[in-house]
Amino acid sequence: MNWYQLDVENVEQKLHVTANRGLNDRQVEKRRKQYGTNALEAQKKVPKWLIFLKQFQDFMVLVLLAATLVAGLLGEYIDAIAIMVIVLVNGCIGFFQEQKAEKSLDKLKELSAPMAHVLRNEKWSKIPSQHVVVGDVVRISSGDRIPADVRIVKSNSLETEESALTGESLPVMKHATAIRKDKLDAQDQVNMGFMGTLVTRGTGVGIVVGTGMNTVMGQIASLMGNTKKILTPLERKLSELGKILIVVALLLTALVVVLGVLQGHPVYTMFLAGVSLAVAAIPEGLPAIVTVALSLGVQRMIRKKAIVRKLSAVETLGCASVICSDKTGTMTENQMTVKELYLNEKQIYVTGDGYDIRGDYFIDKQKVDHTFPNMQSMLLYGMLCNQASLIVKKGKYFIDGDPTDGALLVAARKIGLTVSDEESYKVIKEFPFDSERKRMSVVLEDSNDRRFLVTKGAPDVLLPRSSFHMNESGRQLLKTTDQRNIEHAIDHMAAKALRTLAIAVKPLSKQDDLESSMLEKDLTFIGLYGMIDPPRKEVKKAIAECRNAGIKTVMITGDHVKTARAIAQSLDLLPNHGQVLEGYQINEMSDTELEDIIEDSYVFARVTPEHKLRIVHAFQEKGHVVAMTGDGVNDAPAIKASNIGVSMGMGGTDVTKEASSLILMDDNFATIKSAIQEGRNIYENIRKFIRYLLASNVGEILVMLFAMMLSLPLPLVPVQILWVNLVTDGLPAMALGLDKPEGNVMTRRPRSLQEGVFARGLGYKIISRGILIGIVTLIGFMTTYQNDPENLIYAQTIAFTTLVMAQLIHVFDCRSENSIFSRNPFENLYLVFAVLSSLLLLLIVIYWEPLQPVFHTTSLSIRDWMYIGVLSALPTVLFGFTKK
């Protein structure tokens, strides 16, 4: 069907819908069944059994399985079966971890899925784009990805960028009239909007004519490549490090085997022990555990209303040293209320709070009403040049649309204007607001066919475009003194942290060219609105916490410089020496000049999205890791360029969400702080379990190596080594990944992006603790063996238990960068539980008779335990008192 050739009415008829009503629930349900969801067919998923098998594809595990098979064939059934079971359980754990990580990532995808604005049952609402059906009426505006293929039925300067489809990156103007031509390519169908393309300007309404694979995008979807998993910097560093560790572990293991054989141990025994040791000591699972820790952290962040779109952001978050944040909506409530008007050179005060329409106007305590000259027309124009609507739910008033626009509706209602007052005006054309133009205009026609333009926007943008102004005697030429008076009034309002907005009109004739660049010139200035937008309560504290954590907060706003300064001061964001820069000043600076003063700048006012990009670059040049927020379509480049792009879940556009790595579900600055805190914590937790695992591995290898060097028998048998790898290294390490932050995570300076895995003394801690764990295990083994050389199993049980206990005690030391005594061991209940479970499993393999031959163990006495207790506490106690 060539939808572009049909008139809107025909489209409506064919799809059984009208553009001003939308579908009803029954139709939606039917169509959803008929056409399915509006999604491009998902890539084929790897089957679960393959993921399971992948757990065993590691080279050393294969060698171990082969060696076990040989052991089985040689008659060592018990050993063979025990090893097989351990390998199997290990594989299952890996499999479940992977599934869990995947599920939480899927949940993330769902949370950050694009939304569509649809008209159903005559009401506008936001739904996930994949629920859109054919016939749905959708509203699109700048920054949106079009949710499906639509036939445009209304366009207000609507422009889209279709390079994803056509390769053409210049925006295309869209209109609603039918095109009577045949065989048009997608790029020439200018009354159609295509799924996945981007709205770069304006607003529009369309009727969905194709969804899912039945869209132009669907036809080329098969050409799109598979998305490969991208490793985070830490995962990459760890997998590189892993390669080195594999070589080291293999060399040491080989040394153990060679020494053992030279000492006269049977080759086969040494080989199996060597392979087990290699499997245990090679931290092949480390990158996987890191992924699990990251994705668990991501789930915690979701609970704090931060959605991480890229796993790597979790790490980068902990490195952030500057947060550049929007003001409106992020630092403030975005709940605008008009508090003052400036009209006829007079200050008028408005009472009332929020969007409640109760309130009055006063001049010097004297009530004024709609009879006050120009008042009615100013407030009416504010209603007409407006894209929001005021809705009442259960007696409470809400705004659908831009809060700035909403405040004007409420202000108009306070003198008794209603929707019916708008109805005698016809909107001929609309130029929507964008933060680059900082204004919005409409061309209107009244019931007498008279045309005029209403423009509202930033006062310093409208004033230079005005040649006249209104006062009690009517329209006057705008003289320099009038201009100065108005500027004075703007300053006065802004100094009180009020957001200022000017409104102006211009009479037009029917012949006037509505596309002309002169249209918004020679305006008649009517008055000013001053509205408050209170700062969010929690922001001041969050800024202070960031400062303590070595993170600078910078406010970036399109608002007036004085308003910005007043709000920054009320939030304690602007120190005494701090600079406030304006967009025009940035224009006059070279990049190096900007870099020179950037460290001292805290507020950037009247900026456009292009300035944001320069600000990000300047901070980065100074070595900062920058988090940058944005919501509008033009913010995407700055968000992309920053180290951590932050977009808004409620007020943000699809494009900024796509460009960002963090989405704030509540649009709140304080959430960025929580995310950074969580990011730092996750990184520290990862360091904790790397420290724990590697120190344990060092201990395991060393005890074997030392024993061979001292011509002793094997202190640990293969199943014991594998058991340690599974139980002692498994559960507690996972629990460390869930540890609570140390008290000082938000008082430290941000970590450097370049920081290596072993930075800040981690390498030393691993080696020193590892060596001691190896030594005490060896002492336990050696002394017992020398006392009773006939009873090797007894000595091995002592060694095994000492090793396990030393690790289970050491795990508590890993929780702190400082001393073990600086933390309450019962704070992390997962860890306590993990340690107790490991202990229980240890007791079972030692004391339960059926398992004794499997694990080559024997029962221990109280005296043995006391000896083991002293030995195994040594590594932790010796180092526990020091910070090193």
Binding site for ligand ATP (CB under 6 A): 326-329, 402, 404-405, 433, 435, 438-440, 456-458, 499-501, 557-560
Shortest gap between Cβ of 125 and ligand ATP (angstroms)?
22
Cα separation, 226 vs 229, whole angstroms: 10
Q: Which of residues 276 and 435 has its CB atom nearest to ligand ATP in the complex?
A: 435
Q: Which of residues 508 and 531 has its CB atom nearest to ligand ATP in the complex?
A: 531
Shortest gap between Cβ of 842 and ligand ATP (angstroms)?
58
Could you write out the three-class secondary structure of 390-429?
A: EEEECCEEEEECCHHHHHHHHHHHCCCCCHHHHCCCEEEE
Consecutive H or E run containing 118? strand 115-120
Active-site positions?
Answer: 326
Q: Which of residues 245 and 378 has its CB atom nearest to ligand ATP in the complex?
A: 378
Shortest gap between Cβ of 433 and ligand ATP (angstroms)?
4
Q: Which of residues 583 and 880 has its CB atom nearest to ligand ATP in the complex?
A: 583
Please say whether the beta carbons of 140 and 204 come within 8 A: yes
Closest CA to 438 of 294, 562, 605: 605
Opening angle at CA 738, ends 735 and 742, nearest 5? 110
Shortest gap between Cβ of 372 and ligand ATP (angstroms)?
23
Q: Is 475 exposed, middle or buried (0-12, 13-18, 19+ CB in 10 A)?
A: middle
Biggest alpha carbon–alpha carbon distance for the chain: 116
For 503, the 3-state DSSP assignment is strand
**Can you list the alpha helix ranges (DSSP code H) found in 112-126?**
none
Closest CA to 100 of 298, 248, 241: 298
User: What does the radius of gyration of the chain's CA atoms come to, in whole angstroms?
Assistant: 35
Amino acid code (one letter) for 760 = R
Q: Which of residues 500 and 858 has its CB atom nearest to ligand ATP in the complex?
A: 500
Q: Is 740 exposed, middle or buried (0-12, 13-18, 19+ CB in 10 A)?
A: middle
DSSP 247: H
Q: Which of residues 404 and 872 has its CB atom nearest to ligand ATP in the complex?
A: 404
Tokens at residue 234, please? 């830490």
Q: Which of residues 5 and 569 has its CB atom nearest to ligand ATP in the complex?
A: 569
Cα separation, 60 vs 53, whole angstroms: 15
| Helices and strands per DSSP (H, E), number in the chain | 31, 28
Cα separation, 769 vs 878, whole angstroms: 9
Q: Which of residues 404 and 828 has its CB atom nearest to ligand ATP in the complex?
A: 404
- Position closest to ligand ATP via CB: 558
Closest CA to 520 of 468, 466, 471: 466
**Can you list the alpha helix ranges (DSSP code H) found in 496-590?**
539-548, 561-570, 583-588
Collect all residues with Cβ–Cβ distance below 8 Å to 311 and sequence separation of at least 6.
105, 232, 291, 294, 295, 298
| Residue 486: C-alpha distances to residues 474, 565, 612, 852 (Å) | 16, 20, 29, 92
Amino acid code (one letter) for 180 = R
Q: Which of residues 439 and 751 has its CB atom nearest to ligand ATP in the complex?
A: 439
Q: Which of residues 193 and 530 has its CB atom nearest to ligand ATP in the complex?
A: 530
Cα separation, 644 vs 413, whole angstroms: 42
Strands 662-664 and 306-308: antiparallel
